[in-house]
Structure 1
Amino acid sequence: MTQDDTGNRLMPFWPKKEFAELCSIGEWSDLAPKSIALEEFIEVWLPGLKDDGYRVSVFWNNDDSAVLEVDALLKDLERELEKY
């Protein structure tokens, strides 16, 4: 977990383990990435983050990231999954 400049609570996620490993520096140096199945991410993680007042930080790169409201990310994922 981290916070943005305005105090919003953020939970970072990356599309691949290797990207997350590049961010395992400083206060995160003792952390290791963990894979999450997409179904679990959609059905468990995102609702839990929303309930706890978090926003989603996508693809943190040790400088910045895309920050999304949980509902916006859920809609984007649902729209994308409709294609398959």
Structure 2
Amino acid sequence: MNEEPLDTILELDGEERFDYFLDTVIEERDIWILVNGDNRFLKIVSDDDVAYLPVWPSEAFAAHYAGDTDNLSPKRLTLPEFFNKWVPGLTKDGLDVGVFPGTDDTLWIMSPADLKKDLQDEMASL
């Protein structure tokens, strides 16, 4: 993937990035997060005090978000791993999911269970 499509996709609004995320994750069967050197995942707290795990549809987008920071690197989660381990864990910890942060201020934040349901609904419609 070269920089132009990456930048073009990142400039989409939150809803368009959400749709792109669903399509790509269904096709690739992976979700990407960022972790630090201690393998702790990136958690962001919004201005509204909503804590969430940002997720991306590919390694390239996660790496782009991390930028030049040495302490964050992309980590792949398979869909079964996300469904079976991460959704229950995030739910237990009271964390939402921020789907595909981009260059604007819009971000689709939802419960892990809702993201799982949307992904499963998309897979069922194939």
Alignment pair present for 1:66 and 2:108: yes
User: How many residue pairs are counted as aligned between the two chains?
Assistant: 82
Q: Which residue of 1 aligns with 2:72?
A: 31
Q: Which residue of 2 aligns with 1:11?
A: 53
Give the percent of matched residue pairs that are identical in Structure 1 and Structure 2. 34
Counterpart among 83, 107, 110 of residue 42 in structure 1: 83
3-state SS of 1:34 partner: strand
- Is the contact made by 1:17 and 1:33 (CA closer than 8 Å) also made in structure 2? yes
3-state SS of 1:6 partner: coil
Q: Which amino acid aligns with 1:45?
A: W
Higher Cα Rg, which structure: 2
- Is the contact made by 1:12 and 1:58 (CA closer than 8 Å) also made in structure 2? yes
Q: Which amino acid aligns with 1:48?
A: G
- With the length of structure 2 as denominator, give the TM-score of the two structures: 0.59
Q: For the aligned residues, what is the CA RMSD?
A: 1.7
Cα distance between partner residues in 1 of 2:84 and 2:50: 22
Moved over 3 A (4+): none
- With the length of structure 1 as denominator, give the TM-score of the two structures: 0.85
